[in-house]
Structure 1
Amino acid sequence: MSGTKTILAFGDSLTWGADPVSGGRHRFEDRWPSVLEAGLDGSARVIAEGLGGRTTIFDDHGAAADRNGARILPTLLGSHHPLDLVIVMLGTNDLKPHVCGSAAGAGAGIERLVEIARTYPYGQDVAAPKVLIVAPPLLGETAGGDWQRNIAESEKLAPRYREAAEYGGCAFFDAAGVAAASPVDGVHLDAGNTRAIGLALIPVVRQLLA
């Protein structure tokens, strides 16, 4: 790599670092974007843009912040460019029954986010960043709760996202291969599992930025 690269990590509460036990936030050094940046040894900085409840392209007015990823992504691209890589890890919130409820919908949303990242008007002679789609960890079993009804749909995300990556000509990584949701809520990650995503992405990102 030549020069310090810039990476945008675009996601939801899994990128923000939500702690399922405390209900707060993991330590900065335990969040996967921080682990990734540390593992890149100064060759790149990782801008963490995670928001709890964020979807790919769907409205969810259950919070004060705008959760529609497609609506906010252009603003973030404009704020942080030039970018070398955009990592997108979204879709878990799309599976909420009142939002979308299907992996097919989340896949269509991911494809739209890739399109936005590729076609944003960055400026003359400014190349669009590469894109890495990350399928989030699967939803897990808990003692109860509404999320259990979507476990089967969460299992469909990675195959659908792989198709989206092939269609969009971008990279793909399945975080379910290295991390699992906490049994506390079946959604969020403990510190070890969120760190595991950052560690696993180090060689992937190194290769993309080489």
Structure 2
Amino acid sequence: MKTILAFGDSLTWGYNPETALRHEFFDRWPNVVGRALGHKVRVISEGLNGRTTAFDEDFVAADRNGARVLPTLLASHQPLDLVVIMLGTNDLKRSTGGGRVFESRQGLERLVEIVQCFPYQRGYEAPKLLLVAPPPFCETMEPDFALLFGHAVEESIHFRSAVTKVAEEYGCAMFDAGEVCETSPLDGVHLDAENTRRLGEALVGPVRELLDLGD
């Protein structure tokens, strides 16, 4: 059995823009992947609302800095065969990454370095990496989310190119979520149930290939 760590933010946690609660278990994309691949894999879902690549948000209870939390997760869940990282959305807040994809790219590079260079238990190798570019934002009339992310709708289009650049430089696989799903106009950044399922279904093929699982 192969072990996969799905490391992300609210898009991985399964935030429902209709209710502000959580999607049903099998609507969340990590569980869609796990269900499709069955006994061949174990998918560990590590999604947290508001998580950034490497930036602090000190006014919340949970530690949202992905770079600070990731080493503990790698140690806790090893041995790992694959780490899937989908982060960057929350870096575009002005209070974290300054609202630019450039800073998000730098944070993603740090996460990749952590995975590739972590001192795993003797006998365990570094896992493979799949970087998933978040889908671009869309316009929303929801006042709080418009204030948080409205300035970055155009900027979010650059997620694909930024993540592609990191993947090429560090020898990782890459997938663009924007090719298969769209954010909801209810808040401009999250996925409804259909779109998060669609993302999981689209990731089954790349994951199967990376882990050499066959058909």
Give, in angstroms, the shift of residue 125 of structure 1. 2.3
Match of 2:46 among 40, 44, 49: 49
Give, in angstroms, the shift of residue 131 of structure 1. 0.5
User: How many residue pairs get matched?
Assistant: 207
Match of 2:94 among 94, 97, 102: 97
Q: CA RMSD in A?
A: 0.8
**Unmatched segments (≥5 aa) in structure 1:** none
Post-superposition CA distance 1:82-140 (Å, at most 9, x none): 00000000000000011111100000111110110011111222110000000011111
Q: Distance in 1 between matches of 2:24 and 2:186?
A: 19
Post-superposition CA distance 1:13-64 (Å, at most 9, x none): 0000000011100000100000010111221011000000000011112310
Could you tell me the TM-score, scaled by structure 1's length? Answer: 0.97
Give, in angstroms, the shift of residue 153 of structure 1. 1.3
Q: Distance in 1 between matches of 2:161 and 2:59?
A: 29
**Unmatched segments (≥5 aa) in structure 2:** none
1:59 counterpart = 2:61: no
User: For residue 194 of structure 2, what is the aligned residue in structure 1?
Assistant: 192
1:38 counterpart = 2:40: no
- After the TM superposition, list the runs of 4 or more consecutive aligned residues in structure 1 that deviate by more than 3 angstroms: none
**How is 1:1-210 mapped onto 2 (pairs within 5 angstroms)?**
4-100=1-97, 101-143=99-141, 145-146=146-147, 147-210=149-212
**Identity among equivalent pairs (%):** 55
The amino acid of 1:65's aligned partner reads A
Q: Distance in 2 between matches of 1:198 and 1:89?
A: 12
Post-superposition CA distance 1:134-154 (Å, at most 9, x none): 001111111251222101111
